[in-house]
Amino acid sequence: DTEVTQTPKHLVMGMTNKKSLKCEQHMGHRAMYWYKQKAKKPPELMFVYSYEKLSINESVPSRFSPECPNSSLLNLHLHALQPEDSALYLCASSQGGQGTYEQYFGPGTRLTVT
Amino acid sequence: AQSVTQPDIHITVSEGASLELRCNYSYGATPYLFWYVQSPGQGLQLLLKYFSGDTLVQGIKGFEAEFKRSQSSFNLRKPSVHWSDAAEYFCAVKGNFGNEKLTFGTGTRLTIIP
């Protein structure tokens, strides 16, 4: 089973709201990722968690706050977003570590900021 | 730093015809290479991967890709396309020194005509 699940599928939020995106995998993977994808563009890496520790932050604004409660779950907390943050947010996971491991992606959350 | 170039932004192919999508990479050593497919509004699905060994790799949905070190290429092929193959295709490269970052090309949009 190579499934990564994401909730919600769609989210509309105002600029003053606080919301969270959730991602879950049960493949025993130890690396998890958040990507942002704008229309007609490739995914852009935001954060990487490796063994539940934040290992990469691609200079993402602080209005995006990741959290990895355990090895199966990854959250992205959103606060005071801007309309330009509207995008498809993708979660991915891989076995992690130093190996040659592929990333498996979830279906994404379509976020609209009004 | 690693990079990927997909020279074709958009390709149109007749159903039943053969397909080749081009991908060129830049990396100082042997890279790890991937092809992903994305249907509109969906996540990315891994089609195939190359880590080492046989330079012709088979993937899902009847796709294959060939790694050519001399040309720094990893082109994706399919002998006969189906209407359901219409999607966006991304080539990606990952370094082999434990770096978890995946670098994507800009993508090729495939349209299938009857």
pLDDT tens digits, A61-72: 999 999 999 999
Residue B92 CB coordination number (10 Å) = 26
Q: Give the gyration radius of chain A's Cα atoms.
A: 13
| A110 in contact with chain B, both atoms CB, cutoff 8 A | yes
Give the contacts of A26 (CB within 8 A, at least 6 positions apart): A1, A3, A72
pLDDT band at residue B13 using 50, 70 and 90 as cut-offs: very high
Interface of B with A in 6-65 (CB under 8 A): 32, 34, 36, 41-46, 49, 51-52
Confidence of residue A95 (pLDDT cuts 50, 70, 90): confident
Give the residue carrying structure tokens 């942002």.
A36
Confidence grade of residue B96 (pLDDT, cut at 50, 70, 90): low
| pLDDT classification of A1: cutoffs 50, 70, 90 | low
Q: Which chain A residue shows the shortest CA-CA distance from B91?
A: A42
Residue B66 has pLDDT above 80, yes or no: yes
Q: Test A100 with B102 for CB contact under 8 angstroms.
A: no
Q: What is the mean pLDDT of residues B61-73?
A: 96
CB-based contact, A43 to chain B, within 8 Å: yes
DSSP B91-108: EEEE-SSS---EEE---E
For the segment B41-58, what is each residue's pLDDT rounded down to a tens digit? 889 999 999 988 889 999
Chain B nearest CA to A4, separation (Å): 10
